[in-house]
Amino acid sequence: MRAMSRGYFVPEVAAAPASTQAWSGPLESMLRVRREALEGTIDGILAMIVAREKMRDEHVARIDYESCEARTRVFEFDQWHPGMNREVGRVRMSQERELNALQRERRMAEVECWRDVSRLRLELHRVTEEWSRERRRESFVLGGR
C-alpha cells in the first residue's frame, strides 16, 4: 500500500520488520529533509528567474518610454530645418545621441538579464539533477523494504 507525501508516492513502513523499523525513522527523515531542502532551492531559483525577468521588463519599459520621448523631440526638430540653423542642428544631434544611448542601455539590459537567467538556469539544472539523484536514492532505500 502506498501513501501520498507532498505529491510523491512513498511506501508505507508499517509492514516493515521490527529490526528495520528501529532505524528507518531517522533514515527516512534524513532523506526527506534533504529532498525537501532541494525542492525549496528549486522553488527559490524559479522565483529568482521570474523576479529577474520582471525587473528586466520594467526596466525595458521605462527605457522604451524615454526612447519614445527622445524620438519625438528629434522629430520635432524637423520643422525647424536643422541644416539652416547650427544651434538647432547641435541640439538635434544631442537628442539623437540621447536616443542612441537609450537604445544601447536597452540592449545592455537585455543581455544582462539573459546572462543572469542563464546562470540561474544552469544552477537550476544542477539542483534538479541533484534532486533527481536524491529521489532515486530515497526510492532505492525505501523501496527495498
Angle at which helices 86-143 and 18-76 pack, to 10 degrees? 170
Which residues constitute the domain of residue 125? 2-143
Contacts of 20 (CB under 8 A, 6+ apart): 13, 145
Count of domains in the chain?
A: 1
pTM for the full predicted model: 0.69
**Tens digit of each residue's pLDDT (9 = 90 or more) over 16-72:** 333 344 345 787 888 888 989 999 999 999 999 999 999 999 999 999 999 999 999
Q: Across the strands, what pairs with 10? A: 3
**pLDDT tens figures, 119-132:** 999 999 999 999 99
